[in-house]
Amino acid sequence: MTTVQDAPTQVGGRLSTLDRYLPVWIGVAMVLGLALGRAVPGLGPTLDAVQLHGISLPIAVGLLVMMYPPLAKVRYDRLGAVTSDRRLLVASLVLNWVFGPALMFALAWMLLPDLPEYRTGLVIVGLARCIAMVIIWNDLACGDREAAALLVALNSVFQVVAFAGLGWFYLTLLPGWLGLEQSALDVSFAQIAVSVLVFLGVPLLAGYLSRILGERARGREWYEDTFLPRISPLALLGLLFTIVLLFALQGERITSQPLDVARIALPLLAYFAIMWGGGYALGNALGLGYERTTTLAFTAAGNNFELAIAVAVATFGVTSGQALAGVVGPLIEVPVLVALVYVSLALRRRSGASPSPTQETA
């Protein structure tokens, strides 16, 4: 039985060296990506030449590989117990679709009043709720896997239904009411639905089929004790691969426009910290317990940068300030949420929370 005091060791043991030194590897991946982007002429256009729904195909592959192992670990027969917790579902919807977009709108206008392109890009980031990397952060922080899968699926449905309408509200209607500069967002329900289908539907289906077919063929013990440990390293390898490519694609712009990147980063830092902290405080106030509180916090703080970048590029162009703001989003999100994984584990030790059976699985 894994003890609470063993939490960091448990995370490290799950993926060995990759997990134990995750901040180091992410730092190396960022530097490597920046170096490649600057040292190899034409690398960015080459990587971006083939796209999958507005995202570079190599990055899309990295995202799909990254998401598969955590979704394969989900015990789908336990989703019913999560669905019955209405406090968790309502809290997630309020944080993601009421508080989150409003907070990003306020931060963008307060901190970037003179930079309308970057401001619009940040508002788009705030509207795109996370469906990818949050699975990784939740798993590393020993959150509730089943709750994470359910909340991501729930928010994806709302994303398809609400994204375009909220984009019109926060970029056109609300600024008009407040006497501020207005913008417009040209995005279709089909575009959002395809993004959700590709970046959530494909790995979710693969994870579900792996669980069902693997247990049917060899049993749950073999699946969790043998199969899952073998595929687990793919998650962080996919994450590191994606980070290298993201920084390589934008390496020249990031290093040539450091002041702009810093201006964009400031509201993003505030946003991630407030959303995570607010989600954690709300989960504690509702008495959700460590695992579901952690899941609530990370699903509130993360954003769907795949969709945000795709919408910004399709609407304003690949070289636009809106697109740059979308790209800076994950570049700030990754190190911040990695740090919050360790904050979560420290809070877990202090609270004396016991790991669930699913979190003891490799």
pLDDT in tens, 108-142: 999 999 999 999 999 999 998 877 678 888 988 99
Q: What is the pLDDT of residue 295?
A: 95
Task: Give 346's contacts (C-beta < 8 A, 6+ positions apart).
Answer: none
Q: What is the rounded average pLDDT for all residues in the chain? A: 82
- Between 246 and 147, where is the model more confident? 147
> Which of these, 216, 215, 158, lies nearest to 189 by C-alpha position?
158
At residue 361, does pLDDT exceed 80?
no
**Contact status, residue 134 vs residue 299, Cβ threshold 8 Å:** yes
pLDDT digits (tens, 9 = 90+) for 10-48: 444 444 566 667 778 888 888 898 888 778 777 767 777
pLDDT digits (tens, 9 = 90+) for 197-208: 777 788 889 999
At residue 360, does pLDDT exceed 60?
no
Q: What is the pLDDT of residue 104?
A: 96
Q: What is the pLDDT of residue 20?
A: 66
At residue 309, does pLDDT exceed 80?
no
Domains in the chain: how many in total? 1
Among 129-143, 187-201, 225-239, the range of highest mean pLDDT: 225-239
Flag the least confident range among 9-13, 180-184, 191-195, 342-346: 9-13
Q: What is the pLDDT of residue 117?
A: 92
Range of the domain at 221: 4-360
Averaged pLDDT, 265-288: 95
Residue that is written with structure tokens 């590191």 in the block = 240
pLDDT digits (tens, 9 = 90+) for 51-104: 766 667 887 888 888 888 888 888 888 877 778 888 999 999 999 999 999 999
Q: What is the pLDDT of residue 303?
A: 86
CATH code, domain carrying 117:
1.20.1530.20
In whole angstroms, what is the distance from residue 224 CA to residue 233 CA? 14
pLDDT digits (tens, 9 = 90+) for 310-359: 778 767 776 678 888 887 887 788 889 889 999 999 999 887 765 554 45
Task: Give 141's contacts (C-beta < 8 A, 6+ positions apart).
Answer: 294, 298, 340, 341, 344, 345, 348
Residue that is written with structure tokens 């989960």 in the block = 283
Flag the least confident range among 39-53, 138-152, 269-283: 39-53
